[in-house]
């Protein structure tokens, strides 16, 4: 897989904004992506050095409309920690 196939979109929430100062960033990634693939994709796309990748599978929430109920999509989330000597990701730095 190529880098842009693995990384779907960045996560910008109340939880992730304070993490930007610590060079930690959140991304929604492909469900089949592994930690080494995520690390390689981030390094290739943004030109940074990654020290650690934490992943979690977020289950879909139950939604109801009348009598019909279903679930939102399940996603895989990756939290990426950059090395201290690495530069930050410019996209996120402009938000702080």
> Residue 24: which residues within 8 A CB-CB, separation 6 or more?
16, 79, 80, 81, 82
- Compute the distance between CA of residue 50 and CA of residue 78 in angstroms, rounded to an integer: 12
Summarised one tens digit per residue, pLDDT across range 28-43 is 999 999 999 999 999 9
Summarised one tens digit per residue, pLDDT across range 1-15 is 677 899 999 999 999
Average pLDDT, the chain: 92
Confidence (pTM): 0.88
E strand or H helix at 28 = strand 24-29
């Amino acid at each position: 897989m190529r880098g842009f196939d693995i990384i779907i979109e960045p996560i910008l929430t109340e939880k992730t904004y304070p993490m930007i100062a610590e060079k930690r960033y959140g991304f929604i990634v492909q469900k089949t992506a592994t930690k080494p693939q995520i690390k390689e994709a981030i390094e290739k796309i943004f030109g940074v050095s990654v020290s650690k990748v934490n992943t979690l599978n977020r289950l879909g929430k139950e939604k109801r409309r009348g009598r019909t109920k279903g679930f939102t999509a399940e996603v895989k989330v990756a939290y990426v920690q950059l090395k201290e000597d690495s530069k930050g990701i410019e996209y996120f730095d402009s938000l702080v």
